[in-house]
């Protein structure tokens, strides 16, 4: 059994396997600010499987998201029914929201991928792998050089990451998934 398999096994049930260490980690996460840049990923096996490399131009950010709050905000100051349905996309998942917020903090970077680290009754924590697309080490890299091309700018805001593709219904192909793609408007034209 390799080291990454052992790490993966520990993270399957962190509360049982890590015990007091996991408790102290959660307390540390709660005290930290909303967005934290990390030296190395917390789940090394997961980060490596999603494309993380310990090289210049790639870094990991831990983003905290409040649980709940997928309800529409209340309108105050009189009633106007046409304004009641505004301002909140309810179809987004927490991971996608975390990626968008991390990119707002680091606007010169692109999201490579992300994964969930922890959750409690109040928060979710996600780690987002960010790539500095203009860094010479990234531009020269044969596996990651594609992200520095012009067509891959702002990929998180266009729903091109893994979490974004899930929100857009692009996870499944073939029979039974025809109506999910490419959009809800296009679905109506097929019928």
pTM over 0.85: no
- Structure-derived torsion over alpha carbons of residues 92, 27, 59, 107, reported in degrees to the nearest 10: 50
For residue 18, tell me if it sits in a domain: no
- Helical spans, DSSP H, in the chain: 3-12, 14-18, 20-31, 44-49, 94-105, 136-140, 162-167, 184-190
For residue 180, tell me if it sits in a domain: yes
For residue 82, tell me if it sits in a domain: no
Q: What range does the domain containing 132 cover?
A: 35-71+87-190
For residue 51, tell me if it sits in a domain: yes
The whole-angstrom separation of Cα 118 and Cα 18 is 13
> How much is the mean pLDDT over the chain?
86
For residue 171, tell me if it sits in a domain: yes
The CATH code of the domain that includes 93 is 3.40.1120.10
The whole-angstrom separation of Cα 33 and Cα 31 is 7
The whole-angstrom separation of Cα 104 and Cα 184 is 28
Q: What's the pLDDT at 100?
A: 93
Number of domains composing the chain: 1
Evaluate if residue 190 carries a pLDDT over 50: no
pLDDT band at 86 (very low <50, low <70, confident <90, very high): low
């Amino acid at each position: 059994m390799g080291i990454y398999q052992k790490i993966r096994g520990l993270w399957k049930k962190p509360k049982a396997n890590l015990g007091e260490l996991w408790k102290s980690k959660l307390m540390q996460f709660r005290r930290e600010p909303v967005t934290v840049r990390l030296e190395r990923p917390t789940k090394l096996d997961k980060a490596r499987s999603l494309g993380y490399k310990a090289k210049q131009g790639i870094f990991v950010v831990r983003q905290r998201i409040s649980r709940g709050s997928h309800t529409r905000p209340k309108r105050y100051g009189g009633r106007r029914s046409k304004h009641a349905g505004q301002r909140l996309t309810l179809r987004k998942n927490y991971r996608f929201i975390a990626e968008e917020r991390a990119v707002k903090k680091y606007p010169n970077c692109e999201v490579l991928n992300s994964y969930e680290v922890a959750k409690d009754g109040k928060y979710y924590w996600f780690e987002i792998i960010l790539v500095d697309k203009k860094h010479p080490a990234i531009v020269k890299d044969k596996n990651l050089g594609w992200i520095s091309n012009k067509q891959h700018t702002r990929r998180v805001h266009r729903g091109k990451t893994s979490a974004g593709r899930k929100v857009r219904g692009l996870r499944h192909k073939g029979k039974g998934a025809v109506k999910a793609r490419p959009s809800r408007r296009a679905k109506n034209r097929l019928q």
